[in-house]
Amino acid sequence: MFVSNIFDMKSKFLFPSYFKLIGCFLAIPGMIVGYLCVYHDFNIKGFNIDLGKRNDFMSSQVENLTNEVSLAGLVLGLLFIAFSKLKQEDELTAKLRLDALHWAVLINYIVFCAAELLLRLFVKIGYEPKMAFDIGGWDSDFCLYNMFTPLVIFIGRFYYLIHYKKEAFIISDIKYLSYYPYRRIAKLLTLSFFAIIIMMEVFNIPFIESMGEWIVNSPLIPLPLLMWVFSKTANEDEMTTQDRLESMQLAVYVNYILLFLANFAFYGLNFLLVMWINTISMLVFFLIRFNYVYSKSYWQVRREVKGGILS
């Protein structure tokens, strides 16, 4: 449908309200076991599986699934808590849910980039904080946290907006950067970064390779994407706001479904690649969906105007 009504958003893609309780029962044990597993080498013996033929130098033959199961439980539980229905769903609660989602993504990535940057600064000056993963690469603890922090921040923000005042909801409007120059700059930077990364994989030019490696390892890679997501289109209106909100919710779902599958498909060092992709995937999904819808409606309007006036 070309025109989507905010009222349709009321109960789109939401779980029944009792899923909130199921979510708690999944997320809390998931978090505790996950913490013990990552920081205290705790493994549940029954979760060993033999990878057999799949064995390659990137992963060991016997894999213990404790970390996979706890991450899956945590992510699934948080998704259930975040996207289960309230007692009374209406257009305003839908708006608040989606505003909170945008807010959570923005805050999450700013904090994530700042934390990564600080971590690398610490390493540079010789102070090494105690971490489970290697320090100063894409396999840092923050990448691991980044798999579920958007959901945690969202849940906190949403329930604050809904419950902080007893009588009314708190209205939060997202502020966007202006189209010119921010959206232009962000688009240019993002596309050239991806072009360089692709060229790095295809050609063997030393200059491109060192540049690509710098980009891949940079803690700031989500920032141009974030700037693209949070800057206005050439003609921003109510309709685009609606497309943004829908696209963000879809991006979160797609991102977590894929993460959930990848969690059980990739082990050992291969999973570090999943962690790297996860740092930008949600933003990438949003940009693809949003720009697709935006350009589709743009061309549709142009066609209609032509049909109505010229022919």
CA proximity to 49, closest of 64, 59, 67, 34: 64
* 239 forms part of the interface with other proteins (CB under 8 A): no
* 174 forms part of the interface with other proteins (CB under 8 A): no
| Residue 248 neighbours by CB under 8 Å, 6+ apart | 98, 101, 102, 105, 286
Pick 41 or 167: Cβ nearer other proteins:
167
Among 64, 93, 240, 278, binds other proteins (CB under 8 A): 93
Pick 6 or 115: Cβ nearer other proteins:
6
Q: Considering only 5-13, 16-24, 66-74, 211-219, which stretch makes contact with other proteins by CB under 8 A?
A: 5-13
Among 2, 5, 12, 129, binds other proteins (CB under 8 A): 5
| Residue 70 neighbours by CB under 8 Å, 6+ apart | 29, 30, 31, 33, 34, 37
At its nearest, how many Å lie between other proteins and the CB of residue 162? 8
**How many angstroms separate the CA atoms of 2 and 123, rounded?**
51
Q: Considering only 89-97, 246-254, 281-289, 302-310, which stretch makes contact with other proteins by CB under 8 A?
A: 89-97
* 311 forms part of the interface with other proteins (CB under 8 A): no
**How many angstroms separate the CA atoms of 161 and 286, rounded?**
24
At its nearest, how many Å lie between other proteins and the CB of residue 8? 10
**How many angstroms separate the CA atoms of 131 and 91, rounded?**
43
Answer for the pair 135, 124: CB distance below 8 angstroms, yes or no: no
* 17 forms part of the interface with other proteins (CB under 8 A): no
CB count, 10 Å around CB of 215?
16
* 171 forms part of the interface with other proteins (CB under 8 A): yes
* 301 forms part of the interface with other proteins (CB under 8 A): no
